[in-house]
Amino acid sequence: MKIAILSRNPNLYSTRRLVEAAVAHGHEADVIDVLKCYMNINTVDPSIHMKGVELPDYDAVIPRIGASVTFYGTAVLRQFEMMGVYPLNESVAITRSRDKLRSLQLLSRKGIGLPITGFANKPADIPDLLTMIGGAPCVIKLLEGTQGIGVVLAETRKAAESVIEAFMGLKANIMVQEYIKEAGGADIRCLVIGDRVIAAMKRQAKAGEFRSNLHRGGTATLVKLTPQERQTAVQAAKTMGLNIAGVDILRSNRGPVVMEVNSSPGLEGIENATGIDIAGKIIQFIEKNGKPNKTRTKGVG
């Protein structure tokens, strides 16, 4: 097969591993920077060009689109889809998963466990919103945040009100969430491919920190999932319409709750923690499922 990997940087661990795995399985792989692509949108023969040259025909495309280039990146991916190229994750599903609130709404509609989450527009509604989610302590999150930046634990109701007011004053979109204290500063990253969890790791925050992000000094170890956790992760990916997803789960007293579903999960932390050849499994999934003109809008919403 001829596989296009949409990534801005060929030197990133995940990009390198995908190229390696594609080649090891006897395929050809090109790394393409979406921001260097331009497109001819027409009815008869849509095409993608780079530096004056039309891109060749690909059998499959692996999108690794960073959060900061979602708009243009998903447009390029959509163009590949229009040309009949098989996308590992569809553009619609990626767009859906990038909107944290919309994602939580879709997951809640499917009955998947979630931390109680509130969202408001007016400072006047903050007191009632806080009461709705169970008061303090609570977690306040910037909707646009990644790698734990913009995630704040407010220990008291007063602190929560001040932080929320400050964020609202800056016109930032935020959500306010029940604090899952019993998770003990740990979360679980489940790597879902198709309808299976193929790897899982537990990330533990460093002492004195509640955010378990590896970028914030968290450490990763192997973890054994319960059947309920597996099922929750697979259902969450399915609800978003993602073939591959990193589903982040907290262990709460009422069972697993989903924090986030990531459409471009990093491979480095989880391959190192588990020793599993995830890149190889991604290529095998594409070999099995990558047929031309297979794009259809999966999931809901």
Residue 205 beta carbon to ligand ADP: minimum distance, rounded to whole angstroms: 6
Gap between the Cα atoms of 113 and 184, Å rounded: 18
Q: Are 153 and 209 in contact (CB under 8 A)?
A: no
Residue 139 beta carbon to ligand ADP: minimum distance, rounded to whole angstroms: 4
Query: Would you say 82 or 225 has its CB closer to ligand ADP?
Result: 225
Gap between the Cα atoms of 127 and 115, Å rounded: 19
**Mapping DSSP to helix (H, G, I), strand (E, B) and coil, where does residue 129 land?**
helix
Q: Are 137 and 149 in contact (CB under 8 A)?
A: no
Query: Would you say 213 or 263 has its CB closer to ligand ADP?
Result: 213
Query: Which distant-in-sequence residues (6+ apart) come within 8 Å of 285 by Cβ?
Result: 88, 193, 194, 243, 244
Residue 290 beta carbon to ligand ADP: minimum distance, rounded to whole angstroms: 29
Query: Would you say 86 or 210 has its CB closer to ligand ADP?
Result: 210
Residue 20 beta carbon to ligand ADP: minimum distance, rounded to whole angstroms: 27
- Which amino acid is residue 225, in one-letter code? L
Query: Would you say 218 or 290 has its CB closer to ligand ADP?
Result: 218
Residue 37 beta carbon to ligand ADP: minimum distance, rounded to whole angstroms: 27
Residue 154 bridge partners (DSSP):
138
Residue 234 bridge partners (DSSP):
none
* Peptide bond between residue 137 and the one before it cis (omega within 30 degrees of 0): yes
Query: Would you say 98 or 141 has its CB closer to ligand ADP?
Result: 141
Residue 170 beta carbon to ligand ADP: minimum distance, rounded to whole angstroms: 17
Residue 146 beta carbon to ligand ADP: minimum distance, rounded to whole angstroms: 5
Query: Would you say 109 or 181 has its CB closer to ligand ADP?
Result: 181
Q: In the numeric block, which tokens belong to residue 91?
A: 């553009």
**Mapping DSSP to helix (H, G, I), strand (E, B) and coil, where does residue 111 land?**
coil
Segment 251-256 long-range contacts (CB within 8 Å, at least 24 positions apart)? 251/180, 251/182, 251/183, 251/186, 251/188, 252/113, 252/115, 252/180, 252/182, 252/183, 253/182, 254/113, 255/113, 255/228, 256/113, 256/188, 256/226, 256/228, 256/229, 256/232
Binding site for ligand ADP (CB under 6 A): 115, 139, 141, 145-148, 151, 177-180, 183, 187, 205, 210-213, 248, 250, 259-260
Residue 209 beta carbon to ligand ADP: minimum distance, rounded to whole angstroms: 9
Query: Would you say 139 or 234 has its CB closer to ligand ADP?
Result: 139
Query: Would you say 135 or 280 has its CB closer to ligand ADP?
Result: 135
The Cβ-side half-sphere exposure at 3, using a 13 Å CA radius, reads 28
